[in-house]
Amino acid sequence: MPPDSEQERYFINLVNEHQGLIHKVCMMYENDRDARNDLFQEVVLQLWKSFHTFRGDSKITTWMYRIALNTAISGLRKQGRKIQTEELNDYHLNVSDRESDNAEENFEKLQWAIRKLSEIERAMIMMALDEIPYDEIAETIGITQNNVRVRMNRIREKLRKLMNG
Amino acid sequence: MEELDDLKSIWKQQPPGIDAKNTDEIARMLQGRSTSIVTRLKRSVWFELAFTLISGIALATYGLYAKSGQLKWMVLTLSVIFAVYIFYYIKKLLLLSRYTLNETDLKTNLENLIAGLTTYLSFYKRSYTILYPVFFCLGLFFGAMDAGLDNFLHRFKQLSFLIWFVLITGIFMVGVFRITGWYLKKLYGDHLEKLKELLRELESIR
């Protein structure tokens, strides 16, 4: 299906270029493959609906995070699809027992650790890991920069404990 | 590995096991249907509105062309009730249209969604608190017309019938209110609680 406008083509290329970000949000908030695909589609739809509001004041990734997180955390949510931390316990045992010297394993371990955090903490650490500045994280979440700084310290501490098992 | 910079380098990798989308798939997604909670609510209200409108027109047409008699008036009364319901659904749609997802930060978005859903649910509850007794009285009225008013009133002079009637009415009313309350909680109440919990977490960040 060919895009029918210049703006639509631009948008599709933008999503294509940054789809890793959307995939990561879907992985952190949904457990099974179907639910992730549904969330991916919903995020793309919401991004498209809000595309006219993006004025370039912040990084494009900040804007994408805002929409994706709003959709994942408050907008979609079908019952029974949320990630339950109990489900992740065995995963940690499997990963921590292996030599985590390759990229994929490291990513899986990090993913496991992030999914053990609360939904709000997940949102904050994902943005921080994608180099979103603290002022833009604060603006996206709706709290002060100082609060972001304090909470990020706690999140890092939690991640350190989780990653070291 | 646990320092933020190390984690950032891990995070930059393409996540393993993802379904990478090509531009054609992304283009198709733009034509898809939204599954957000507000969109789903709107969709179901539009369906109910269309059903009520069609049924109301069909009933009114039948009532206007039917020969005079009890059935004609019963059908016309029902079509009037359906007409009232149309305003009820429009009001529901207006309540849902107040909410727009994503335009704000996460905290404001949660606050708006909680306020929107709370207003919507309380309107829903208020309306059935009024409508169920109205339907019950109409049922009695039609029953009385069908049995003949004298016959109908005569039954209430018997104490056993009166007790039975009060008991059944009580069970029916409590039952429908409870079932509707349970249904609403199951559909949206749990979601609303989850949203409130998230907002509390955001507000607790110091």
- CA–chain centroid gap for A134, Å, is 16
- Cα–Cα distance between A85 and A112 in angstroms, integer? 9
Query: What are A127's two structure tokens?
Result: 């943005």
Q: What span, in angstroms and rounded, lies between the C-alpha atoms of A164 and A161? A: 5
C-alpha A64/C-alpha B52 separation (Å) is: 40
Q: With 80 as the cut, is the pLDDT of residue B100 above it?
A: no
How many A×B Cβ pairs under 8 Å? 164
> pTM of the full predicted structure?
0.78
pLDDT at position B135: 80
Of the candidate ranges A30-44, B46-60, B146-160, the one whose mean pLDDT is the lowest: B146-160
pLDDT in the model for residue A83: 44
Nearest by CB to A77, which of B20, B32, B191? Answer: B191
Q: Closest chain A residue to B186 measured between Cα atoms? A: A79
Question: Which amino acid would we find at residue A54?
Answer: F
Q: Out of A24, A38, A66, whose CB is closest to B15? A: A24
Residues in A touching B113 (Cβ below 8 Å): 74-75
Our CA angle for B189, B125, B163, nearest 5°, is 120
Torsion angle of C-alpha atoms A23, A25, A28, A34, degrees rounded to 10: -50
User: What is the ipTM score, two decimals?
Assistant: 0.82
CA B17 from chain centre, in angstroms, equals: 39
Facing residue for A76 by CB, picked from B1, B35, B201? B35
Q: Tell me: pLDDT of A92 over 50.
A: no
Q: A-chain residues within 8 Å CB-CB of B28?
A: 1
Q: With a cut of 90, say whether residue A11 has pLDDT above it.
A: yes
Q: Report how far residue B22's alpha carbon sits from residue A42's, in angstroms, rounded to the nearest whole number.
A: 16
Mean pLDDT of A6-26: 93
Q: CB count, 10 Å around CB of B168?
A: 10
Residue of B nearest to A164 (CA): B2
Q: Are A74 and B109 in contact (CB under 8 A)?
A: yes
Residues of A in contact with B2 (CB under 8 A): 156, 159-160, 163-164
Q: Where are the beta strands (DSSP E) in A64-134?
A: none
> Alpha carbon A165 to chain centroid distance?
23
Whole-angstrom distance, CA of residue A50 vs CA of residue A45? 9
The dihedral of CA A46, A51, A53, A54: what is its sign?
Answer: positive
Does A85 have pLDDT greater than 80?
Answer: no
- Give the Cβ contact number of residue A39 at 10 Å: 26
Burial of A94: CB neighbours in 10 Å, binned 0-12, 13-18, 19+? exposed
Task: Determine the residue among B7, B14, B38, B191 to mutate to test chain A binding: the one whose Cβ has the most chain A Cβ atoms within 10 Å.
Answer: B7
Asked whether the predicted pLDDT for residue A90 surpasses 70, the reply is no
Q: What is the rounded distance in angstroms from the CA atom of residue B69 to the CA atom of residue B75?
A: 10
What number of residues does chain A have?
Answer: 165
CB contact under 8 A, A12 and B205: no
Alpha helices in chain B (DSSP H): 4-11, 23-29, 37-65, 70-97, 106-147, 149-155, 159-184, 190-204
- Asked whether the beta carbons of residue A110 and residue B11 sit closer than 8 angstroms, the reply is yes
Chain A hits for B102, Cβ within 8 Å: 46, 49-50, 66-67, 70-71, 75
State the Cα–Cα distance between residues A160 and A154, nearest whole angstrom: 10
Find all residues with CB under 8 Å of A141, minimum gap 6, and list them.
A120, A123, A124, A148, B105, B106, B107, B202
Neighbours of B78 (CB within 10 A): 18
Alpha-carbon gap: A98 to the closest alpha carbon of chain B (Å): 15
Q: What gap in Å lies between CA B33 and CA A42, rounded to an integer? A: 8
Name the pLDDT band for A21 (thresholds 50, 70, 90).
Answer: very high
